[in-house]
A = this chain, B = another copy of it.
Amino acid sequence: MIVILKKDPDQRQLDSLKAWLKAKGIDVHESTGIHQTILGLIGDTTTIDINLLNALEIVEDVKRVQEPYKKCNRKFHPEDTVIKVGDTQVGGGTLTMIAGPCAVESEEQIVSIAKLVKASGATMLRGGAFKPRTSPYSFQGMREEGIRLLEIAKAETGLPIVTEIMDASQLDCFENVDVIQVGARNMQNFELLKVLGKTDKPILLKRGLANNYQEFLMSAEYIMAGGNEKVILCERGIRTFETYTRNTLDIALVPSMKQLSHLPVIIDPSHAAGKYALVPSLSYAAVAAGADGLIIEVHCDPEHALSDGPQSLKPKLYDEVAAKCRSIHAVVNGGAV
């Protein structure tokens, strides 16, 4: 951590600051120039409050040099984390394919989609039971009943299930859930993260709409600090000025996270795009960029929801996309196609 002092700082306050830092086990290196003095703080600065230092009268600016996260930091854990889920795994060279509807609507719906995506090579089933909705007047999901239906689909297909938790009070329902998802809006719901850190379930943590990499990793750190190291990072698009797409997929997060952390990275092209026709291209890009897997919405069938028309072709498109993703994965990883 670097502390840049104002010109001609009050000596008594400076001494007080240095004594306080030394008492915390930090070595202080002072560099004095004509226009300013810089303090280089060497040691474990994760517990130093950057806002506290910034608020001091003698301080002009504070810059963090060392990452404030440890458990998810590749520097302290060079090997990739591989997370076992049922008979499959996330990370370690496997291309994880999670697929399913945006929301669970009925037993017939979730079981039939589960069978279709399994046939296309999906390795896990997703489906929303507790649904975060911007409007209190929108459908809030089937909740406990939705999870029961996911369990039926799991029993019928053998696919592990992934579904979202919205509040710690819902945790009892998740006993048979294989991977617990934390939504983008809850990425900094710290009380929820603490509770999940006490479980032993894999957590699929979605990046917040306007959060940066460091904040994302600090939220992973919250879960890991509680004892649960099974965290899967998931990029689902960030908010930008573009409105043609619902969000903007930050594809550079994939190689960046591979540098910063040892945790596996999954991409959600469906929420990023918000338009079905863009999902194939984003899926190919994600695999080419080195993602460990994809979570794709299949058959949130709008025509079906409105009328009682025939099943759409969407599972057929998923089948094509999944196949091409496997081909790209092979090329990127140096194997034959």
Enumerate chain A interface residues (CB-CB to B < 8 A). Answer: 2, 4, 7, 13, 16-17, 19-20, 27, 29, 31-36, 38, 40, 42-43, 46-47, 49, 51-57, 61, 63, 65-66, 68, 75, 132-139, 166-170, 185-186, 188-192, 194, 209-215, 218, 221-222, 225-226, 238-245, 248-252, 254-256, 259-260, 272-278, 280-282, 284-290, 300, 302-303, 305-307, 309, 324, 327-328, 331-332, 337
Find out whether the CB atom of A46 lies under 8 angstroms from the CB atom of B137: yes
Find out whether the CB atom of B285 lies under 8 angstroms from the CB atom of A256: no
Find out whether the CB atom of A134 lies under 8 angstroms from the CB atom of B210: no
Q: How far is the CA of A290 from the CA of B285 in the complex (A)?
A: 9
Beta-carbon nearest neighbor of A166 in chain B = B191
Beta-carbon nearest neighbor of A46 in chain B = B137
Cβ contacts under 8 Å, A63 to chain B: 2, 63, 65
Q: How far is the CA of A29 from the CA of B240 in the complex (A)?
A: 33
Q: List, sorted by A's number, 27 A–B pairs whose CB atoms are closer than 8 Å.
A: A2-B38, A7-B75, A16-B309, A20-B306, A34-B43, A38-B40, A53-B302, A54-B274, A55-B276, A63-B63, A132-B188, A136-B225, A168-B169, A185-B188, A185-B190, A210-B241, A211-B241, A212-B242, A212-B243, A214-B244, A245-B252, A254-B281, A256-B278, A281-B290, A285-B285, A328-B332, A331-B337
Given contacts A56-B303, A211-B241, 17 further A-B contacts (CB under 8 A): A2-B63, A35-B66, A38-B65, A55-B300, A136-B194, A136-B222, A136-B226, A137-B225, A167-B191, A186-B189, A210-B210, A238-B248, A249-B250, A254-B281, A254-B285, A285-B285, A285-B288
